[in-house]
Amino acid sequence: MQGNIEQINNITMMTKEHKRVYNVNTEFEENYAWGKAPFYENLAKGDTLMMNGNPIFKEEYNLIVSKRDFGLYSIGMKPHRHWSFNETKKYYGLTGNKAKVAEDIKQLWEDWKEFKKKHVSYSEE
């Protein structure tokens, strides 16, 4: 970031392709930087799909659907017969019972929206 004086929480990561530097201010950014759950690892891959003529990250779509699914599960409805609470919970790196996870996934959605505003841009290649 140009002109940013506060560089206290920087994390530098080396990958095979390039060096990444993250200014970590939130828990979401830290989890993304370190790939703390499969959700964050897949989000970093940057795979997109088209929805209503606009690009959207596959993981963003998964988060939208999972938010709905955890909401249904928290009121006693299983979203579909192959859905697994524990597997989905692990995918996002969440812990706790169904009520706590439903709240955590809502917070994850809010954190994602803030992260997206700050860091995400789409380019056509």
pLDDT class for 90, splitting at 50, 70, 90? very high
> Which band of pLDDT confidence, cut at 50, 70 and 90, is reported for residue 6?
very low
At residue 5, the pLDDT reads 24
pLDDT digits over 58-79, tens only?
A: 999 999 999 999 999 999 999 9
Longest CA span, the chain: 51
Exposed / middle / buried, residue 8 (Cβ in 10 Å: 0-12, 13-18, 19+): exposed
Q: Name the percent of the chain in helix, strand, coil, to the closest 5.
A: 50, 15, 35
pLDDT value at 11 more than 80:
no
Instruction: State the pLDDT confidence band at 9, using cuts at 50, 70 and 90.
Output: very low
Question: What's the pTM?
Answer: 0.75
User: Which stretches does DSSP call E strand in 34-108?
Assistant: 48-51, 54-57
- What value does the mean pLDDT take over residues 105-120? 88
Q: pLDDT at position 33, please?
A: 75
Please name which of 101, 106, 92, 100 lies closest in space to residue 40, comparing C-alpha atoms: 92
